């Protein structure tokens, strides 16, 4: 594939616009030729804002364009699998936001389509591209902390999403913890065998009325013996709390939060510093660039993208295991078809 890769963007919502900005301004080897959105006006606005030549309502216009090498799918979750299949059928490489789908059979059909078409697929688990988490993984993988024994992930959002979103999101384990499931696999380089999930509604009763929970604590048992805990909350008043820790036989690696500035004030009341960066758009700004850059590199060098379709499927399996555990109050095996 030539150095410059031509792309089409499907979905011009919040995440779509981030990818549009990065593709047009931060990634000189990318050429974003077209954008589509079911709300054509959104596509047109993105096209104007980011100098994208074509704006469509119908993504078929993108799939049918022979100039386009790859698509970036940021539409609503329920459309991901369909668009993956259509893109694969059209021979386009695919970057798709997580999750692939909330239905595992639908995921499997989509992954089959990708395999048959022989196109490349990368899933948007952006946190893998954060320099701090990358450094943590390198340290674990290199043996700097010996054999890993205990994993801890703290992942708390600054504010819950709208209730309407929560209702179609698959719930906390498939919408929020899914990122932490991916991070767990990424840091430990092994699969989770069993999950036990505890949860509560503590932030907003409306979340409970929608059938979801807003506070969770998930125990993971990996195949290699590592035991881990993930804690989640939908609302941390001090901002996005994203910390990980891997403890091992020769040491521990810990990743703390990132702050917008380094100013520290000491006064008669104490010592004060800034809250962590507010949310994922701020904290993972560079990771959004890096994940697409890695996707483009995989296309150019004809290698497997760093987050595969299977990497997209397994956290969904884990999310359902977590729901089953929460509902039955029992540990649940994670059944991976392997």
**Residues 30-49 contacting a copy of itself, CB under 8 A:** 49
* Residue 150 sits in the site that holds a copy of itself (CB under 8 A): yes
**Residue 90 vs 201, nearer CB to a copy of itself:** 201
Residue 335 touches a copy of itself, criterion: CB under 8 A: no
Residue 228 interacts with a copy of itself (CB under 8 A): yes or no? yes
Task: Name which of residues 128 to 147 contact a copy of itself (CB under 8 A).
Answer: 131-132, 134-136, 139, 144-147
Pick from 53, 143, 161, 251 the residue near a copy of itself by CB under 8 A: 251
By the rule CB under 8 A, 156 interacts with a copy of itself: yes
**Exposure string over 118-134, b if 16+ CB within 10 A, otherwise e:** ebbbbbbbbbbbbebbb
Question: What single-letter DSSP state applies at residue 38?
Answer: S
- Half-sphere exposure of residue 25: CA atoms within 13 angstroms, side-chain side: 11
What's the rounded Cα separation, in Å, for the pair 106 and 83? 12
Tell me if the bond preceding 99 is cis, omega within 30° of 0. yes
Question: Is 6 one of the binding residues for a copy of itself (CB under 8 A)?
Answer: no
Which one of residues 254, 303, 327, 335 is an interface residue with a copy of itself (CB under 8 A)?
Answer: 254
Helices 131-141 and 177-188, interaxial angle, to 10°?
A: 40
**Is 157 in contact with 234 (CB distance < 8 Å)?**
yes
> Is residue 281 close enough to count as binding a copy of itself by CB under 8 A?
no
In whole angstroms, the minimum distance from the beta carbon of 14 to a copy of itself comes to 18
Binding of a copy of itself by 169 (CB under 8 A):
no
Q: Does 198 bind a copy of itself (CB under 8 A)?
A: yes
Residue 271 or 337: which CB sits closer to a copy of itself?
A: 271
Residue partners of 321: CB distance under 8 A and separation at least 6: 195, 332, 333, 334, 335
């Amino acid at each position: 594939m030539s150095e410059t890769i031509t792309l089409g963007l499907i979905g011009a919502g919040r995440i779509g616009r981030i990818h549009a900005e990065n593709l047009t301004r931060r990634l000189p080897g990318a050429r974003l030729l077209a954008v589509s959105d079911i709300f054509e006006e959104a596509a047109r606005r993105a096209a104007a804002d980011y100098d994208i030549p074509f704006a469509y309502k119908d993504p078929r216009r993108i799939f049918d364009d022979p100039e386009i090498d790859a698509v970036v799918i940021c539409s609503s979750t329920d459309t991901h699998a369909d668009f993956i299949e259509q893109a694969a059928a059209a021979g386009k490489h695919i970057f798709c936001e997580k999750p692939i789908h909330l239905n595992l059979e639908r995921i499997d059909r989509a992954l089959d389509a990708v395999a048959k078409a022989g196109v490349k697929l990368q899933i948007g688990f952006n946190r893998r591209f954060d320099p701090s988490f990358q450094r943590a993984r390198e340290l674990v993988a290199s043996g700097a902390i010996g054999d890993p024994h205990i994993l801890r992930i703290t992942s708390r959002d600054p504010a819950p999403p709208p209730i309407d979103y929560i209702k179609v999101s698959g719930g906390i384990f498939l919408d929020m913890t899914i990122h932490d499931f991916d991070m767990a696999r990424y840091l430990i380089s092994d699969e989770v065998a069993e999950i036990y999930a505890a949860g509560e509604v503590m932030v907003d009763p409306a979340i409970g009325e929608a059938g979801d929970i807003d506070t969770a604590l998930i125990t993971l048992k990996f195949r290699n013996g590592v035991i881990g805990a993930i804690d989640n909350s939908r609302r941390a008043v001090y901002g996005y709390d994203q910390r990980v820790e891997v403890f091992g036989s020769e040491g521990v690696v810990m990743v703390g939060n990132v702050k917008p500035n380094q100013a520290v004030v000491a006064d008669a009341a104490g010592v004060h510093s800034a809250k962590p960066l507010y949310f994922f758009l701020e904290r993972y700004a560079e990771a959004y660039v890096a994940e697409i850059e890695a996707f483009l590199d995989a296309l150019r060098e004809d290698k497997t993208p760093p987050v595969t379709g299977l990497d997209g499927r397994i956290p969904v399996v884990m999310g359902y295991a977590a729901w089953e555990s929460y509902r039955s109050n029992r540990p649940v095996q994670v059944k991976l078809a392997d």
